[in-house]
Structure 1
């Protein structure tokens, strides 16, 4: 049915639980997994004539986001290893997480995108909900939206 499943994460507790369900789904199907974290692009401070010395350079920012991305996808990689599921992981950069998710899924030959309906609380929850909606509206491949029956405990 599905051979390669893209599982997105933002590092939140809800996202990790969704990813765990995605790995279990992949195991049941005998599919491989692509674990993806999308980080925002580097932003120069606006309305500032001189960049403060404490402000990270673009290289420092990208390096920090690569580390954060590795940390966020690590639970997916570990879960795949425990379940014997082949897994590749990556961090991508984009101002539009939804469009990047769809682009990567297409480029990497994924035939399903597995994601949660939200991953944060407050405004962040609204944001990821909009990412899911945008992925649903832009993707030409199937998108499975996983909803938790019970919210995880606060981090």
Structure 2
């Protein structure tokens, strides 16, 4: 059915729970996993004429985000290794996480995006914006939304 599943993570407890469910799903199907962390692009400080010395350079920022991406995808990679699921992890940079998720899935031959949802609706969803909804709207490949009924730790 599905051979390569993109699983996104942002390092939060919700995305960790989703990633666990995604790895189990991939194992059941015999699919491989691409674990993805999307970091925002580097932003130069605005409204200042001189960049403060304490402000990180673009190279420092990118290196820090690469390390964060490795930390955030580490659980997915470890879970895949325990279950015998082939896995690759990557960090990508873009201002719109949703658009980058869709782009990475297409560029890497994924045939399913496995993504989480907090289960918010109404004003909560409208005010916060939803990466999941944007992925659903923009993806041409199937998207499986794993909805958490309650927040982890509650």
| TM-score class, shorter | over 0.9
Could you report, residue by residue, the CA deviation over 1:64-90 in whole angstroms, capped at 9, with x for unpaired residues?
A: 000000000000000000000000000
Q: C-alpha separation between the residues in 2 aligned to 1:17 and 1:113?
A: 15
Q: C-alpha separation between the residues in 2 aligned to 1:50 and 1:153?
A: 44
1:151 Cα deviation after fit: 1.7
Correspondence for 2:17? 17
Kindly report which structure 2 residues correspond to 1:61-72, keeping only aligned pairs within 5 A, or say none: 61-72=61-72
Under a length normalisation based on structure 2, what TM-score does the superposition of the two structures give? 0.92
Q: C-alpha separation between the residues in 1 aligned to 2:8 and 2:127?
A: 14
Could you report, residue by residue, the CA deviation over 1:105-155 in whole angstroms, capped at 9, with x for unpaired residues?
A: 000000000000149xxxxx878751111100000000000011332117x
Gaps of 5+ in 1: 120-124
Under a length normalisation based on structure 1, what TM-score does the superposition of the two structures give? 0.92
Q: Is the 8 A contact 1:118 1:129 kept in 2?
A: no
Correspondence for 1:139? 139
Q: C-alpha separation between the residues in 1 aligned to 2:128 and 2:64?
A: 21
Runs of 4+ displaced beyond 6 Å: 125-128
Number of aligned pairs? 149
